[in-house]
């Protein structure tokens, strides 16, 4: 058994298709985790459409979606998820525990006159789920833990553990000026993979290029490296690329990160990372 991570949407803020971004991809946040026969999806940005086409072609769909938050770039693929329109589909939708915003946000974006099919009319069976922040919960054969990070309107990051492997999904978060984010360090401690918001270059973030992005809720590859080192993470994946960054710009960011933390990669659509399951000590 193994854990496979596949990236279907790696872009932040808004889709950015075109020849300048074709190699990295222009779809917004959507990551698939395959754990044996089970599937967990992280966020429902526009990358969800392509994932859905593949899933529907393979048969009935039953999976869980973990939403980091409900900003457009993390939910806009949902109305176009082909599995929504199949009566055999069963979806468990997990959102932040502190508000009823997930269901209302998904409902509102499928409301006339903005969208022709209302959420209540889709044939798929939807269950809305929540969790207690910081308290692990089971999702099939995986264990999941969530932590609140730093982002306008709020966000949660997830740690998914399966067969001794751990993947942490920490998008849409801004580092603090004077200290590392302790809740993220705790969540990412010893993880095999950290998927981290690296939307801006350090120069963009500081306002050396364009205006300052301080307070916009995003981070940089430099901060990703800092967190990965502090948490003892196996590999860092740079994620939530700025829509203004073309393939060359993201390649330059990736190379810069690799010079200080070898093995770091920039997420691209279609990138798959396989983590072989580790034997777990079940002795008493």
CB 267 within 8 A of CB 170: no
For position 242 contacting Zn ion by CB under 5 A, the verdict is no
Nearest to 206 by CA among 246, 174, 250: 174
The piece of 132-140, 164-172, 186-194, 229-237 that touches Zn ion (CB under 5 A) is 164-172
Stretch of 72-80, 86-94, 95-103, 137-145 lying at the interface with Zn ion (CB under 5 A): 72-80
- CB contact set of 159 (below 8 Å; sequence gap of 6+): 144, 145, 146, 147, 166, 167, 168, 187, 188, 191
Under rule CB under 5 A, residue 71 binds Zn ion:
yes
Instruction: For Zn ion, give the closer residue by CB, 11 or 165.
Output: 11
Nearer to Zn ion, 29 or 89 (CB): 29
Q: Does 73 bind Zn ion (CB under 5 A)?
A: yes
Q: Which of 140-148, 167-175, 200-208, 257-265 is the region at the interface with Zn ion (rule: CB under 5 A)? A: 167-175
CB atoms within 10 A of CB 62: 17
Q: What are phi and psi of 131, to 5 degrees?
A: -160, 165
Q: Please report how close the Cβ of residue 45 comes to Zn ion at its closest, in angstroms.
A: 8
Q: Which is nearer to Zn ion, 13 or 264 (CB)?
A: 13
**Residue 113 phi, psi dihedral angles, 5° rounding:** -95, 15
Q: What CA–CA distances, in Å, run from 151 to 93, 96, 108? A: 21, 13, 22
Q: With binding defined as CB under 5 A, does residue 12 bind Zn ion?
A: yes
Q: Residue 165 or residue 241: which is nearer to Zn ion going by CB?
A: 241
How far apart are CB 16 and Zn ion at their closest, in Å? 13
Measured from the CB atom, the residue of 26 and 86 that comes closer to Zn ion is: 26
Tell me: does residue 197 bind Zn ion (CB under 5 A).
no
Residues 171-190 that bind Zn ion (CB under 5 A): 172
For residue 74, which phi and psi values (nearest 5 degrees)? -115, 0
Using CB under 5 A as the criterion, which residues of the chain lie in contact with Zn ion when the complex forms?
12, 71, 73, 172
């Amino acid at each position: 058994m193994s854990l496979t991570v596949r990236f279907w949407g790696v872009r932040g803020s808004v889709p950015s298709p075109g020849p300048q971004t074709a190699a990295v991809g222009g779809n917004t946040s959507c990551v698939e985790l395959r754990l044996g026969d089970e599937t967990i999806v992280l966020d429902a940005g526009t990358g969800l459409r392509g994932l859905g086409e593949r899933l529907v072609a393979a048969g009935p769909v039953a999976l869980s979606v973990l939403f980091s938050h409900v900003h457009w770039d993390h939910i806009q693929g949902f109305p176009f998820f082909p599995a929504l329109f199949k009566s055999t589909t069963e979806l468990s939708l997990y959102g932040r525990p502190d508000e009823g915003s997930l269901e209302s946000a998904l409902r509102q974006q499928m409301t006339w006159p903005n969208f022709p099919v209302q959420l209540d009319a889709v044939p798929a069976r939807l269950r809305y789920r929540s969790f207690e922040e910081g308290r692990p919960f089971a999702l099939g054969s995986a264990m999941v833990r969530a932590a609140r990070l730093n982002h306008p309107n709020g966000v949660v990051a997830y740690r998914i553990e399966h067969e001794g492997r751990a993947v942490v999904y920490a998008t849409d978060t801004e580092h603090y000026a004077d200290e590392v984010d302790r809740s993220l360090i705790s969540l990412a401690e010893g993880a095999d993979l950290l998927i981290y918001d690296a939307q801006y270059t350090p120069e963009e973030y500081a306002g050396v290029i364009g205006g300052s992005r301080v307070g916009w809720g995003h981070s940089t590859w430099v901060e990703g490296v800092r967190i990965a080192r502090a948490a003892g993470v196996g590999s860092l994946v740079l994620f939530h690329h700025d829509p203004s960054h073309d393939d060359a710009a993201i390649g330059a960011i990736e190379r810069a990160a690799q010079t200080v933390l070898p093995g770091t990669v920039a997420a691209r659509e279609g990138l798959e990372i396989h983590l072989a399951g580790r034997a777990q000590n079940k002795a008493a």
